[in-house]
Structure 1
Amino acid sequence: MKQFALTTCIRRIWIMSGWLRQEAAIAAGMLVVQRHQVELREEEEVKVEQQVAASGGEVGVDSQGRLRRVRMLDDYILPFECGM
């Protein structure tokens, strides 16, 4: 059976609309993940601000990204446990 130009055109449009639906679904998923990461980052910033305020501003971040109490000595930062 011979395909007509209209049938071929409709088929191409149908295939491209499927691709566009997939791209839209992927983009929406990426936006949701990005929004969730921003919310987590904001929550962490609020937590850091609260800890800094509670400790009088003597909070630092160690190599694993965890907050630790520190003492400031001129040009050096020492963990609180190493202080006198």
Structure 2
Amino acid sequence: MSTVLTVFDKWKEFLAQRVDQAEKVGLDDEKISKLAYQIGEFLADKVDPENGEERVLKELWDAGDESERKVMARLMVKLVNKE
């Protein structure tokens, strides 16, 4: 997975593809946001940031409480949906 995370644009593209797949199988926005939150938790716990953008996201994630992290997850989904 680290090659996907090397470049932030690649990460956004990867996330956009996963969101698109989730929408195609009929998941609603709330379920997609929950999945994005779970992915964020996994990445924060298991993956070391490899660039500045990832480092900022991890620091924000670590600084936030659960509800703030859920907002971040929803915002990431919105970010990739609009592109």
Structure of greater Rg: 1
Q: Which has the higher contact order (CA 8 A, sep 6+)?
A: 2
Higher strand fraction: Structure 1 or Structure 2?
1
What TM-score do the two structures reach when normalised by structure 2?
0.29
The structure that is helix-richer by fraction is: 2
